[in-house]
Amino acid sequence: MGCCDRDPGFLASLGTAFEMAAVEKVEEQLASLRIAKRSAPSEEPAYLLDIDLSRPAQSENSRFVAVSCSNKSIRVYNRETLHFLREYSSHPGILSGVRFARACDSAVFSACSDGTVKCWDVRSATQKPVQVFSGYPSNVFISFDINCSDLIVCAGTEKVEQDTFLVFWDARGITDCASSAKEPLGVYSESHNDDITKICFHPVEPNLVVSGSTDGLVNVFDINKDNEDDALISTCNSDSSVSFIGWSGRDYKQVYCLTHDEGFCWWDTAQLDTEEPITLLRVLDVRDAVCAENQSLHYMVGGLYHEKAEKLFLIGGTSTGNIHLISCGTDGLSLVGTLSGGHCATVRSFCWNLADESLLTGGEDAQLLLWKPRAVERSLTKKASLKIASSVQKRVRVHNSSLKSRKK
C-alpha cells in the first residue's frame, strides 16, 4: 500500500494515539510539579483570592504576578522571583478578581464593591488608579473580566432589591486618560436574577462572554448583537450557585462551571443547533466522584484548559493545603496527582502558565507559591505557622450567606 493509500481507520487510530500520548505527557508534567519559589511572608497576612500573570511582549517572558487579597488590596510580585514589588489599596471597597490587559502588561484591573472597576499601572508606586470605570449608584461589583482585545470591560453585580446587572464599558485608552471616570456603554439586566459571581470572556473571540450566578444559570452572550435578547446565545442551568466558569475544547466551543456545593457541569455550545445533547458531563459532587486512596477532597477551586493536550483539568484541595489535579473526560473525572508540602491551609486561587507549564497558587495561609515540573525549592523561608489566626480570618462575601461553599 502506497503512502497515499493509508487506511482511514489506521490514520484515525494513529491520531488518537498521538492525542493520548500528549495527554499522558501533560498529566505526567502536572503530577511532577514541585515548589520552585515561595513569596516572603507579608507584614499583613491576608487570603490570596485571585491570581493573574501579565501577558508577555513579543519575545519577553511574563514580568508580573498580581494577587487580589482579602484586605482590600492588590499585591504585585516579580513573576520569576516572587519578590514583592508594590501594593494598591482600595479602601473602603472590597476588590474582586484581578486581570492584566493583554496588550499592555503593566495595566492591571480589579472590580470593586464601591461600584467601580479600577485599573492601575504596576510600574507606578502611586496609589491612584490610571483609570476608573464607574457603574450606576446602586452597583456593587463582585465579578468582572476584560475581553481578549482589551476593548471591553464587563462587571457583574450583587442583587440589590430585584436588580442584578452585567455592566459594560469601552476600555480603549486606559493608559492616557487617567483623570476621567468612564461611564458605562450599557447593561444587561434580564438574564440573571441573583448575584453574578463570575464573568469570563472567550480567549480568542472578543465578542463572546459567559456569566455565572447564584441563580444557577450560566449564560453565553454575543455582545456584538444590538440588544440583550438577541445577545443571549445559550442558557445552561447548573441547578446550583455558580462559583467558577471557563471555556474549554478545541476552538473553545465548550463552557464549564463549578458550583458552591462542589458540583461540576460541562456543556458543548457547538451542539446548540444540532440534535446532539449539549451536556457533556454533570457531576453533582466532585468530592464523591474523585476519591483517591488515603486522600480526601474537601473543595474545588477552578479549572484550566490545556491547549496542547486539548484537555480540561480541575483543581481542588483539602483544608490542610494539599492540591488535587483532576482530569476531565466525557466518561468522568479522574485524579492526576496531588501537590503537597506547599500550603498549610485552604487554597483559594491559582494561575496556569502554558509557556513554561508552571502553576501559581495562593491560599488562606497568605502564601504565594510557584510550582514547576521537577523543580527544587532553594528558598530558606520556612512555612512554619503561616496559617492566619482565626481571629483575623475574614472571608470575602461573593454570594449570599445562605449559599456558602461547603469548605471543611
pLDDT of residue 408: 37
pLDDT band at 406 (very low <50, low <70, confident <90, very high): very low
pLDDT of residue 253: 96
pLDDT of residue 69: 95
Q: Give tens-digit pLDDT for 56-73.
A: 765 466 789 999 999 999
Tell me what percent of the residues of the chain surpass a pLDDT of 90. 65
pLDDT of residue 19: 61
Beta bridge partners of 157: 141
- pLDDT higher than 60, residue 171: yes
Mean of pLDDT values over 167-190 = 81
- pLDDT higher than 70, residue 34: yes
Q: Which is more confident, 373 or 168?
A: 168
How high is the mean pLDDT of the chain?
86
| Joined grid coordinates for residue 307 | 491547549
pLDDT of residue 44: 85
Provide the residue ranges of all domains of the chain, joining segments of one domain with +. Answer: 45-237
CB-based contacts of 284-293 (< 8 A; 24+ apart in sequence): 285/261, 286/258, 286/262, 286/314, 286/316, 286/326, 286/333, 287/262, 287/316, 289/332, 289/333, 290/316, 290/324, 290/326, 290/333, 290/334, 290/335, 292/324, 292/335, 292/338
pLDDT of residue 260: 97
Asked if residues 175 and 150 have their Cβ atoms less than 8 Å apart, the reply is: no
Residue 92: cis peptide before it, omega within 30 degrees of 0: yes
pLDDT band at 247 (very low <50, low <70, confident <90, very high): very high
Rg (CA), the chain: 21
pLDDT band at 126 (very low <50, low <70, confident <90, very high): confident
pLDDT band at 115 (very low <50, low <70, confident <90, very high): very high
Question: pTM to 2 decimals?
Answer: 0.86
Q: Angle at CA 67, nearest 5°, toward 63 and 68?
A: 150
pLDDT band at 396 (very low <50, low <70, confident <90, very high): very low
Q: Give tens-digit pLDDT for 98-108.
A: 999 998 888 99
Sign of the alpha-carbon torsion through 347, 343, 80, 353: negative
Tell me what percent of the residues of the chain surpass a pLDDT of 70. 83
- pLDDT higher than 50, residue 400: no
pLDDT of residue 315: 96
For the domain covering 45-237, report its CATH number: 2.130.10.10
Sequence-ordered list of residues with C-beta below 8 angstroms from that of 51, at least 6 positions apart, any chain: 65, 66, 67, 98, 349, 350, 351, 360, 361, 362, 368
pLDDT of residue 309: 87
Write the CA distances from 83 to 39, 138, 392, 402, integer angstroms.
Answer: 6, 38, 25, 38
- pLDDT higher than 90, residue 97: yes
- pLDDT higher than 90, residue 393: no
Neighbouring CB atoms inside 10 A of 17's CB total 10
- pLDDT higher than 90, residue 265: yes
Q: Which is more confident, 374 or 323?
A: 323
pLDDT of residue 383: 46
Mean of pLDDT values over 117-145 = 92
Least confident of 67-71, 146-150, 400-404: 400-404
pLDDT band at 20 (very low <50, low <70, confident <90, very high): low
